[in-house]
Each structure stands twice: as C-alpha cells, then as structure tokens.
Structure 1
C-alpha cells in the first residue's frame, strides 16, 4: 500500500501533462493536417515563414504560390500554416 501511495503523485502529474499539453497539441496537429489536405487552387494562404500568396497549382506534396507581383514560388504542402479568409 505504501508503494502505491508513492506513485500516486507521479500518475497524477502524468494525467495533468496529458490533458494540458499532449492532447491539445495532438488536436492542433490534426486540424493542420486536415487544412493542408483540403487546400485548393485560388486559396489565399500564409506559409510558416510568413509568405502570403495565392495557390496557383498544387499536387500531393508541393504547392506553387503566386505572389502579388506575379512571381511563382514552390513550397512543400506542409509549409502552409494558414488559409486566409477573403
């Protein structure tokens, strides 16, 4: 019984870490993967580096973004951080 009492704080700490740190991070990663899988031509996006552009073309792993001056840059699909609503 004494040994169990010594492990209770450790178990409680793991449960707290799970609900405060691990679970919210997993939910966020799932939302990001869903957003990246639903990208389509014409979406205004922001990359993880802060580049703002419009999707010109895309395939399974890359995205071609068009800047305001007409130049086109190729990024990995995983580099898209956010889709801007117009």
Structure 2
C-alpha cells in the first residue's frame, strides 16, 4: 500500500517536471522574441549606418559629441570629426551611432 502511494507520487512528480521544462522553454522564447531579437535588429542597423558613413555627414558619438565627419580611415577604423570650427578629434568608428540630420527629421515628424 505504501509502495503504491510512493509510485503514484513519483508519477505525478514526473509530469510536473515536464510541464516545468515546457514553461522554461516558453519563457525563453518570449524573452528572445521581445528582448534579444529587437536588440539584434538595432545592432544590425547601427552596423549598416557605420559602414555607410561618408565625409561631410553630421553624426553623434556614443559619448554625445556632435560633429561632422572630415576623414574616414578604413584601415584603422577611425574617423576624424570636426566638433567646432578648426577643432578635429579622432573617434573610433564603432562609437558613431546616429546621423544627426536623420534623427532631427524624425523628431520633427512626431
């Protein structure tokens, strides 16, 4: 009698672990769909923008510095930005995130 109750409890517990596993997979799928996937899309857009940079573009860096691209060195992945008249700084290409003219136009349409 005790043995049959023990086996019944184990069988019920085994079904619970399967539903727990399904629940964990569902939670991971939801996290991927709402968090990871949009972040990957955003990263892809930023990379596309960085690869399409050209001289004369008005950009903003990751540190919030606004400037105009004066020179792009593809061998070292560095960009020279003019942040004021006659003031040129060198920034890594990976830290240039947005086009100022495109973001200003998007802000006016809202």
**Shorter-chain TM-score: which interval?**
over 0.9
Instruction: Give the aligned partner of residue 49 of structure 1.
Output: 63
Structure with the bigger RCO (C-alpha within 8 Å, sep 6+) is 1
What is the Cα deviation at residue 8 of structure 1?
A: 1.2
Give the length in aligned residue pairs: 86
- Choose between structure 1 and 2: higher helix proportion: 2
What is the Cα deviation at residue 68 of structure 1?
A: 2.1
SS in 2 for 1:67: strand
Task: Supply the distance in 1 between the matched residues of 2:56 and 2:85 (Cα, whole angstroms).
Answer: 16
RMSD (Å) for aligned C-alpha atoms: 1.4
Consecutive unaligned residues in structure 2, runs of 5 or more: 1-13, 103-110
Instruction: Give the aligned partner of residue 33 of structure 1.
Output: 47
SS in 2 for 1:65: strand
User: Structure 1 residue runs of 4+, over 4 Å off?
Assistant: none
CA shift digits 1:20-62 (9 cap, x unpaired): 1110000000000000000000000000001111000002200
State the TM-score, normalizing by the size of structure 1: 0.92
State the TM-score, normalizing by the size of structure 2: 0.73
CA shift digits 1:49-83 (9 cap, x unpaired): 01111000002200000122321100000010111
